[in-house]
Amino acid sequence: LLKRANLPRNMIENSMFEEEPDVVDLAKDSTFPALDPDEVAYEPRSSRLLVRGLGENDMDEDEEDCESSARLLGMSFMNRSSAHRSNSSPYTRQAPPRSCSRPSARTMVVCVLFLVIVASMTMVLYFLPGCTFTKTGCRKENKTTPIEPPFPWSQFRLPHSIRPLSYDLTLNPDLDNMNFTGSTVIKMVVLHNTKRIVLHSANLNISKATFKLDDGEASDVTVLEYKPRQQIALNFSEELKAGQYCVLTLDYSANLSHTYDGFYNSSYTDKDGNKRVLAATQFEPLSARKAFPCFDEPAFKATFLIKINRKPDYMTLSNMPKAKTTPLNNGLVQDEFEMTSVNMSTYLVAFIVGNFTPVSKNVSEILVSVYSVPEKKEHTDYALDAASKLLDFYNDFFEINFPLKKLDLIAIPDFLAGAMENWGLITFRETSLLVGKQSSPLEKQVVASVIAHELAHQWFGNLVTMSWWNDLWLNEGFATYMQYMSLQTVLPQLDIGNLFLAVRFRALDKDALNSSHAVSTAVNSPEQVEEMFDSVSYEKGASILLMLNASLSGDQQFRKGIIQYLKQFSGLNTDTNDLWNSLTQVSTQHQNVSEMMSSWTSQKGFPLVTVSRKGDQVTLTQEHFLLTSDNATHTSSLWNIPVTYVSDNCSLAPECRQLFTLKTKSGTFKVPESVKWLKLNYRNTGFYIVHYGDDGWAALRDALANDVSVLTHEDRASLIHNIFALSRLGRVSFRHVLNLLNYISNETETSPVTEALLQLNKIYQLLDKRQEYSLVARMKTYILHHFGSLMDKQTWEEQESVSKQELRSALLETACGLDDENCTQQAKALFKQYVDSNATSRIPGDLQQVVFNVAAQSAEDWPTLLNLYGHATYDAEKRKMLRGLASTQDARKIVWILKAGLKGNLIQTQELPLVISTVCKGFAGYLFAWDFIQENWDRLIEKFPVGSFAIQTIINSATSQFSTQAHLDQVQGFFSSLKERGSQMRSVQEALETIRLNKRWMEKNLRTLQKWL
| Strand 194-200 to 607-614 pairing | unpaired
Q: What is the C-alpha to C-alpha distance for residues 286 and 298, in angstroms, rounded to an integer?
A: 10
Closest CB 3 distance from Zn ion, rounded Å: 8
Q: What is the C-alpha to C-alpha distance for residues 69 and 107, in angstroms, rounded to an integer?
A: 10
Per CB under 5 A, 111 contacts Zn ion: no
Closest CB 420 distance from Zn ion, rounded Å: 8
Question: Given the rule CB under 5 A, which of 1-9, 61-69, 375-383, 995-1003 is the region that contacts Zn ion?
Answer: 1-9
Judge whether 539 is annotated as a binding position. Answer: no
Task: Find out whether 659 and 642 touch, Cβ atoms under 8 Å.
Answer: yes
**Shorter beta-carbon distance to Zn ion: residue 471 or 942:** 471
The end-to-end CA distance of the chain, in Å, is 44
CA atoms within 13 A on the CB side of 876: 25
Q: What is the C-alpha to C-alpha distance for residues 947 and 352, in angstroms, rounded to an integer?
A: 27
User: Is 454 designated active site?
Assistant: yes
Site string for Zn ion, 445-484 (x = CB under 5 A): -------------------------------x--x-----
Judge whether 476 is annotated as a binding position. Answer: yes
Task: Find out whether 91 and 46 touch, Cβ atoms under 8 Å.
Answer: no
Q: What is the C-alpha to C-alpha distance for residues 752 and 761, in angstroms, rounded to an integer?
A: 14
Q: What is the C-alpha to C-alpha distance for residues 260 and 7, in angstroms, rounded to an integer?
A: 13
Beta strands of 704-786 (E only): which ranges? none
Per CB under 5 A, 1 contacts Zn ion: yes
Task: Find out whether 946 and 985 touch, Cβ atoms under 8 Å.
Answer: yes
Closest CB 479 distance from Zn ion, rounded Å: 4
Closest CB 476 distance from Zn ion, rounded Å: 5
**Shorter beta-carbon distance to Zn ion: residue 466 or 783:** 466
**Shorter beta-carbon distance to Zn ion: residue 566 or 760:** 566
**Shorter beta-carbon distance to Zn ion: residue 337 or 415:** 415
Q: What is the C-alpha to C-alpha distance for residues 623 and 639, in angstroms, rounded to an integer?
A: 9
Closest CB 60 distance from Zn ion, rounded Å: 43
116 burial type by CB count under 10 A (0-12 exposed, 13-18 middle, 19+ buried):
exposed
Residue type, 987: S
Give me the catalytic one of 336, 454, 714, 993.
Answer: 454
Each as own residue / partner, the long-range contacts of residues 620-626 (CB below 8 Å, 24 or more positions apart, any chain) are 620/660, 620/662, 620/666, 620/667, 620/668, 620/669, 621/665, 621/666, 622/662, 622/665, 622/666, 622/688, 623/665, 625/508, 625/512, 625/688, 625/689, 625/725, 625/729, 626/512, 626/514
CB atoms within 10 A of CB 949: 29
Closest CB 474 distance from Zn ion, rounded Å: 11
Closest CB 950 distance from Zn ion, rounded Å: 16
Spatial CA neighbour of 340 closest among 264, 257, 425, 273: 425
Angle at 461 between CA 459 and CA 462, to 5 degrees: 65
Which residues in 479-538 contact Zn ion (CB under 5 A)? 479
Spatial CA neighbour of 503 closest among 533, 531, 538, 532: 538
**Shorter beta-carbon distance to Zn ion: residue 297 or 476:** 476
Closest CB 359 distance from Zn ion, rounded Å: 24
Q: What is the C-alpha to C-alpha distance for residues 87 and 74, in angstroms, rounded to an integer?
A: 8
| Strand 678-680 to 465-466 pairing | unpaired
Got the DSSP string for 811-823?
A: HHHHHHHTT-HHH
**Shorter beta-carbon distance to Zn ion: residue 348 or 850:** 348
Farthest CA pair distance, the chain:
99
Judge whether 453 is annotated as a binding position. Answer: yes
Residues sharing a CB contact under 8 Å with residue 572, sequence separation 6 or more, in sequence order:
301, 464, 465
Closest CB 236 distance from Zn ion, rounded Å: 39
Binding-site size, Zn ion (CB under 5 A): 4
| Strand 406-412 to 245-255 pairing | unpaired
**Shorter beta-carbon distance to Zn ion: residue 542 or 662:** 542
Q: What is the C-alpha to C-alpha distance for residues 212 and 475, in angstroms, rounded to an integer?
A: 36
Task: Find out whether 97 and 56 touch, Cβ atoms under 8 Å.
Answer: no
**Shorter beta-carbon distance to Zn ion: residue 455 or 827:** 455
**Shorter beta-carbon distance to Zn ion: residue 479 or 760:** 479
Residue numbering of the annotated binding site for Zn(2+): 453, 457, 476
What positions carry a catalytic annotation?
Answer: 454
Which residues are at the interface with Zn ion (CB under 5 A)? Answer: 1-2, 476, 479
The binding site consists of 453, 457, 476
